A = this chain, B = another copy of it.
Amino acid sequence: MPTERLIEYEGASPEVRAVYDDIRATRKTDYINNFWKALANDPATLKRTWESIKQIMAPGALDALTKELIYVAVSVTNQCPYCIASHTVSARDKGMSPEMFHELMAVVGMANETNRLVAGYQVEIDERFKNT
């Protein structure tokens, strides 16, 4: 028995269907990916997470592609295979070229390296960088 089965549209409650409908309308696709189908086991979390994502990922001061690049950067740092796979596809769909992907990876790799050099060398924050 699975931890949580994937909830398909056909077997979903009206509450879940309303979220699926909004995902489809917002993303202009019929496809609902497994993340949402798993979360649908908990309609309150499905609804809250979708509404948060919808609000956060909409273009604003940062465009939609930049937001996806940031999402991939976090997912790679956290070693989340599902999130890397799905958000890399999303980023490409929003215009990430191979060159952009390569530069994204280079920055993510280097930031992870220097984060540890700073910690290991116990570097004190410069006065001018202090949040005071």
Contact = CB atoms under 8 A, between A and B. Distances in A.
Contacts of A56: 103, 106-107, 110
Q: Among A83, A108, A115, which residue has the most Cβ atoms of chain B within 10 A?
A: A115
Nearest to A100: B61
A26 interface: no
Contact of A104 (B70, B72, B111): B70
Q: What is the size category of the interface that chain A forms with chain B? A: 35 or more
Contact of A110 (B33, B52, B97, B103): B52
Which applies to chain A's interface (DSSP): helix, strand, loop or mixed?
helix
Contact of A79 (B60, B66, B78, B108): B78
Contacts of A100: 61-62
Contacts of A87: 111
